[in-house]
Amino acid sequence: MNSVVYWLNQADEIVDVNDEWDNFALDNDGNEVVRDKVIGKPLFNFIVGESTRMFVDNLLRRARLRYQETHKFYRCDSPDVKRFMEMRIVPEDRDLLRLEHTIIRREVMTPPVYYQYSPTIKHPYRRCSICNKVLHQSVWCEGSDLIRALPQSSVDAIDAIDVIYHVCPTCIYQLI
Ligand SMILES: [Zn+2]
């Protein structure tokens, strides 16, 4: 599996992306984020959730400040596949960061879990953008475990789990 690679200038605008970016976008219904539509745009236009933005911003600042390569493990799941990912941030020069996202391994998600971003409803679940866990009764758990914990009738009644994006305490701690 090739890495998705893109480059950011100091304003966090996307300067370039590799071919794998388009392949990944198209595989994941990302017609709005194919190459032509993202070049020159701020990366943060494409990151949903204030705490997730702060998390990524923090990583980028750190890479620039220390001027050294840094890496982070995270999850980028689809409804039926857990994708274990690594992000590497490499300062190429003072004005250019290279970001590489690589799939390390995949596992089947059973049962599959569908989410929808629902910032306006009253009690959305919180989903960690880094490890993809969901907060349920004070515990951050796998989405498939949440589905199993819910009564079957309520699972049948919904198309997707309503979430807002967050970063869980474990992932925040790993940033320190
Ligand atoms: Zn997390």
Q: What pLDDT digit, counting tens, does each position of 63-84 carry?
A: 999 999 999 999 999 999 999 9
Q: How many domains does the chain have?
A: 2
Which residues of the chain are under the pLDDT cut of 70? 1, 176
Is 50 part of any domain? Answer: yes
Quote the pLDDT of residue 158: 85
Are 83 and 135 part of one and the same domain? no
- The per-residue pLDDT for 176 is 65
User: pLDDT value at position 171?
Assistant: 93
141 Cα: distance to centroid of ligand 1 (angstroms): 9
Handedness of CA 118, 124, 129, 133 (dihedral sign): negative
Question: Would you state the pLDDT for residue 100?
Answer: 95
Torsion of CA 60, 68, 127, 169, to 10 degrees: -110
Predicted local distance difference test score (pLDDT) of residue 144: 94
Residue 175 included in any domain: no
Q: Are residues 144 and 94 in the same domain?
A: no
CA of 171 from ligand 1 middle (Å) equals: 4
Position 84 scores a pLDDT of: 95
Give the residue from 109, 128, 151 where a domain finishes: 109
Residues 150, 156: Cα–Cα separation, whole Å: 10
Tell me the C-alpha distance between 20 and 15, whole Å.
15
Residue 46 pLDDT: 87
- Whether residue 85 sits in one domain with residue 62: yes
Between CA 56 and CA 19 the distance in angstroms is: 23
Question: Do 73 and 88 share a domain, yes or no?
Answer: yes
Which residues make beta-bridge pairs with 115? 161
Peptide bond into 119 cis (omega under 30): no
What pTM value is reported for the model?
Answer: 0.84
Is 90 in the same domain as 30? yes
Q: 135 alpha carbon to ligand 1 midpoint, in Å?
A: 10
Residue with tokens 């250019």: 96
Q: How far does the centroid of ligand 1 lie from the alpha carbon of residue 128, in Å?
A: 5
In whole angstroms, give the CA distance from residue 88 to residue 174: 15
My answer on whether 95 and 51 are in the same domain is yes
73 and 125 co-located in one domain: no
For residue 70, the enclosing domain spans: 4-109
Within this chain, do residues 22 and 51 fall inside the same structural domain, yes or no?
A: yes
